[in-house]
Structure 1
């Protein structure tokens, strides 16, 4: 708790002395405050920032239950309006009223090097996003799948030898190797795992006291950011000298209609953002995949049957993965069920507007609740039950707009994460390689999720892992 308070105090000092984020309007002096959304501004100056820093998922859950789908709060020195649920989330995405430009606390902007996609809006954002999306097509995925399979094979062989281990540290190694392979052309193993340690230090900066000292968490995060940028710069030079079929190679060749491309400065910032987003997204998604299948033997059986029916052996590609319908449902439900992302990046209200008869003042911050939006019982019945069947095509098509928003909602060229479909592909590929040959069981342990920014099982997901000899013998016959 002391750390959370220290983070809040330091961040408030920076936010309140920086015109980029500080509000010039005292929320308590608004005229007609009775027409504002319900909620609380919390303590003077601090607002409700301590509660958010302590457990960001609980923060949104508790206020949804108390105030409903739209509520006001006060975070990082600024009044904020939060939107939860399909209708509210859709309104929050309207660029007529909201912008991401200069909307996030300065430390977040500093860590992401100021001008990457999450921090842009309008035409600048759309232009850059459309270039980035060229690296997230099915044709591009076909080039990445061999990289994913190589990395998976490398670590599966190690796990087979280990037998019993904690899976989260191992999945972090796998994630580091895969992100390094995709974004710099690196190979799996110790060198890439060192890059993973750099990414870990960088990511910790987002929840560190935001004062730049060489020895503290935030200072080390900025140093790690610069190490990643230097690694990216080196990879750009190498890829120009020797083109490769990885994501960086494709991004170097993306073009607008007039033939122009991303500048090197833009490219390095976007690859830095992708390192941040992909590293956690990969190991957390795979952690929950493995945990879910172990906890639900009937789901593991159905998934294994699907793999053995459609892709029992051989290399994978997008065409072969299309038949894995049940695994796709599992991949979707993992991101709905588990508390991975609590909320979007912050936005800023550009003009006074109204939603559900509540006045939303110009200059306020705004945020969309992600996990809470996907746990509304009126949209997803029995939301606390893990049910892949809810993503049968006909049911998925009938969902209200912006009700399934694990990577943000809206159109592809909006603030929806470009990696959404790639994570589905990744889950399928890793699941295939696990289910073709291996069994795993979870020994007694604490599987409760911690209060991290991205919660994970507290005991590291201990596992007993080995070859499925009976299955392999049947395949040999």
Structure 2
């Protein structure tokens, strides 16, 4: 081999890759400060941007809470990073989050990562803006009115009782998290999308598995190649859409035949609202909206219900206080027709409601929300450049709130303390806030209260592995699925 050939080979093998890497790093450094507004005297927040192009996305996916905790300890309440293909500022703390949530349409706009927008759809409530968002939200809110919630209670009770009866009959431990996802999925399919019970039984296993796959890959690098997470998420989404389309066509056919349902579900109301406003939704938009309702209506409640079982398994004295309240409010005879559970009665279960609030404080199912800066603005002495993503953190905001003494302890009574209601509202934001506060907030409260009422009245339970390690992906869940032994509770 000639000396020339050796030199060329050495240059191509060693020197050229090094030069390309250094060039990439240099370009990355320029890219990460793009949009920096020279007219704003404030500096960028502290932080790091990670590897070229990948940023710190892989670290977040692999480490989740550990990564976020380390960042907060090192950089404080506002820091920069690079996630899901975009320069990002992560924000926590009541005052900082207040400016973000109340700055909708003025400072920021909702914008989820590209993978979420593609898989869930760009025409969903969480992704539309302006008049379209207001009209869509108004239609969905009708499905969560007080009157609608009253109609949902018997369906919720039926499904919860059926699940609890099954758990009590098992000799072995119940894996609570998968069971909760199935239970909440059935409830959401019936109440939010209007599926009948027989249809759910036929498609349940396949739909649950597809939903699992879709949710697992919601936050992924948006690279649509075979076997990538993004590809698997889209494939699962398409299967779900096909099943939902069958149900939508049946709804439209029933509507054309003037078969009026006894009570309208959220999807039915969306279809009707589109017709009345002369903005009829396309089939694709209806499928996307239905998928979003399913995601919001069952994934978050399954996470919180699992956390309830966990915290109450660790704190049996809290279960006893719930039972005392149920006895005081005469809920123990709710099987009788004249003693039917109502929204009004659920509202009177103050301590039970505080148990749910405390669970949401410690384990909010959704860790935060995504926005994009509409213009360069100042936040607590730092510059947030136009076009950068802004993530407001729910879990970190709860962690750093001074209004919660003994933060690590499970103390539902803290929400009953005199003067607590007067504390700054953005210290506690499990449902978000501002114009995009969770539309299903009241539905979730009713559903979780009914679950707690039924569970406390009929069950004792023991966590087989003790307190589990919790992860986020995309909602909070126990890594061991929370194996639990349920036994029948017999009151004295």
After TM superposition, the structure 1 stretch with the greater mean CA deviation from structure 2, 377-386 or 235-244, is 235-244
The within-5 A match list for 1:138-287 is 138-165=146-173, 166-182=175-191, 183-187=193-197, 189=201, 191-208=203-220, 210-213=222-225, 215-240=227-252, 241=254, 242=259, 243-245=261-263, 247-248=265-266, 251-252=269-270, 255=273, 263-265=281-283, 266-287=285-306
Cα distance, 1:396 vs structure 2: 4.3
Out of 406, 423, 428, the position equivalent to 1:404 is 428
Deviations 1:148-180 (A, max 9, x none): 111112212211211432222222221221122
Q: Does 1:307 align with 2:356?
A: no
The equivalent of 1:429 in structure 2 is 450
Q: Classify 1:79/1:309 alpha carbon distance in 2 versus 1 (closer, same or farther; 3 Å).
A: same
Q: Please tell me whether Structure 1 or Structure 2 has the larger radius of gyration of its CA atoms.
A: 2
The separation in 1 between residues aligned to 2:473 and 2:177, in whole angstroms, is 14
- Change over 3 Å in CA distance of 1:128–1:262 after alignment to 2: farther
1:56–1:368 Cα change, 3 Å: same
Q: Distance in 2 between matches of 1:254 and 1:373?
A: 39
- Tell me the distance in 1 between the aligned counterparts of 2:231 and 2:419: 47
Residue 10 of structure 2: aligned partner: none
1:382 aligns to what SS in structure 2? coil
TM-score by length of 1: 0.85
Q: Distance in 2 between matches of 1:356 and 1:203?
A: 34
Q: Deviations over 1:418-461 (max 9, x none)?
A: 11221111111011111222211223456122454333222221
Q: Count matched residues.
A: 445
Question: Following TM superposition, where does structure 1 have runs of at least 4 consecutive aligned residues deviating by more than 6 angstroms?
Answer: none
* Partner residue, 2:8: none
Structure 1 residue runs without a partner (length 5+): 1-21
Output the aligned Cα RMSD: 2.8
Q: 1:172-220 CA distances to partner (integer Å, 9 max, x unpaired)?
A: 2212211221223232646434322221121122145543345554323
User: 1: distance between equivalents of 2:449 and 2:73?
Assistant: 35
SS in 2 for 1:117: coil
Is the 1:35–1:358 contact (alpha carbons within 8 Å) kept by the matching residues of 2? yes
Q: CA deviation at 1:115?
A: 1.5
Question: CA, structure 1 residues 193+318, in 2 after alignment: closer, same or farther (shift >3 Å)?
Answer: farther
Q: For residue 87 of structure 1, what is the aligned residue in structure 2?
A: 95
Cα 1:74–1:207 shift into 2, 3 Å: closer
Structure 2 CA distance for partners of 1:379 and 1:116, relative to 1, 3 Å: same
| Alignment pair present for 1:374 and 2:398 | yes
Equivalences for residues 32-47 of structure 1 within 5 A: 35-47=43-55
Q: How far apart are residue 298 of structure 1 and its match?
A: 1.0
- For residue 24 of structure 2, what is the aligned residue in structure 1? none
- Asked if 1:55 corresponds to 2:73, the answer is no
Structure 1 CA distance for aligned equivalents of residues 298 and 397 of structure 2: 24
Cα distance, 1:394–1:225 mapped onto 2, change above 3 Å: farther
5+ residue gaps, structure 2: 1-27, 335-339
Deviation at 1:395, TM superposition (A): 4.2
On the 8 A contact 1:446/1:458 being kept in 2, the answer is no
Match of 2:109 in 1: 99
* Residue 426 (structure 2) pairs with residue 417 (structure 1): no
2:5 aligns with none
Secondary structure of the structure 1 residue equivalent to 2:479? coil
Counterpart for residue 481 of structure 2? 460
